[in-house]
Structure 1
Amino acid sequence: MAIRRGSHCVYDTRYHLVWAPKYRKWVLQGAIRERVREVFCEIAAHHGFEMEELEVDKDHVHLFLSFPPRYSISVVVGLLKAVSAKEIREEFPEVRKQLWGGEFWEDGYFVWTVGDKVTADVIRKYIRFHEAKKRGVDQLDLF
């Protein structure tokens, strides 16, 4: 990721974001998993966000992305969650049986910024390890 330029700024803002479906239900599988990935990538492209890594697990998502400083973290997360929830509920109405109450995502999210101790490589390895862990790769490979 290179330093990016906006009309009034130069920036390198990168965030590791994590959140889960309501009740931490295992609904992010199969076609729903793929559609969530597509929607996140479409939103990122439309708004000029750079998606460095994306993992959709059965009960939560990890995103490592950069976006211009004109966007707050809460606005970006709200946008990703709201649009994806609307798309999934419309395209997969059967999901309502598992996620009652009209909500798809849990309230809140986790955010981790890249800094001195948390480098971009550590976050990339963490997200890749998360996927590899499902295939039985040992945690010692992380660091």
Structure 2
Amino acid sequence: MSNTYTQIHIQCVFAVKFRQALIHVSWKEQLHGYITGIVQNQGHKMIAINCMPDHLHLFIGFRPTQSLSDLMRIVKSDSSEWINLQKFNKSKFNWQEGYGAFSYSRSHVKAVTDYILDQEEHHRKKTFLDEYRQFLEQFEVDYDERYIFKLPE
């Protein structure tokens, strides 16, 4: 799209299905690299990525050549397939349905990047579910508690 200039920064957050702690520290950097490749191959810029055993944050410079929902579908399906092909887990790996997406101005890029890269320290004080609710409330996103994250039935 010639003559189209944008500055769109989006943080996406999504969880492992049933919030299971399946992302192991021994392969999380490989996962970061794989997802970074997906994002870049889709024409976007990875600013920061980090995951905890049960969820992942990515912060991207988003280009409006694709819908966010299409990008997230591709990121989640391709990375799940890759994780399963690598046989990192004994059980089948899946991301939970849905995601959170939050936009930021240029002035917030450093703070959001630092926040994402410091997830390990952050989660010593706050659970993922509390963190996610805080995002929804801070960004004034209406939500239904039943659909935030599903636990095994």
* Pairwise same-fold verdict (TM > 0.5): yes
Selected match of 2:39 from 39, 44, 52 = 44
Selected match of 1:16 from 11, 34, 44 = 11
Contact 1:23–1:106 under 8 Å retained in 2: yes
Deviation >3 Å, runs of 4+: 131-136
Selected match of 1:112 from 102, 122, 136 = 102
User: How far 1:94 moved relative to its partner?
Assistant: 3.7
Residue 59 of structure 1 pairs with residue 54 of structure 2: yes
Q: Find the residue that maps to 1:62 and give its secondary structure.
A: strand
Selected match of 1:70 from 50, 54, 65 = 65
Contact 1:35–1:88 under 8 Å retained in 2: no
Same amino acid, percent of matched pairs: 22
TM-score (norm 1): 0.75
Segments of structure 2 that go 5 or more residues without pairing to the other structure are 126-153
Residue 131 of structure 1 pairs with residue 126 of structure 2: no
* RMSD of Structure 2 on Structure 1 (CA): 2.4
- For residues 44 and 129 of structure 1, do their structure 2 counterparts lie closer, same or farther at Cα, with a shift above 3 Å needed? same
Residue 122 of structure 1 pairs with residue 111 of structure 2: yes
What is the rounded CA distance, in whole Å, between the counterparts of 1:95 and 1:60 in structure 2? 18
User: How far 1:35 moved relative to its partner?
Assistant: 2.8
Q: Find the residue that maps to 2:47 and give its secondary structure.
A: strand
Deviations 1:35-93 (A, max 9, x none): 32121111123222111111011110010001210111111111100100011111116
TM-score (norm 2): 0.71
- For residues 121 and 38 of structure 1, do their structure 2 counterparts lie closer, same or farther at Cα, with a shift above 3 Å needed? closer
Amino acid at match of 1:111: A
What is the rounded CA distance, in whole Å, between the counterparts of 1:29 and 1:49 in structure 2? 26
Q: Find the residue that maps to 2:98 and give its secondary structure.
A: coil
Q: How many correspondences in the alignment?
A: 125
- For residues 32 and 95 of structure 1, do their structure 2 counterparts lie closer, same or farther at Cα, with a shift above 3 Å needed? farther
What is the rounded CA distance, in whole Å, between the counterparts of 2:18 and 2:27 in structure 1? 17
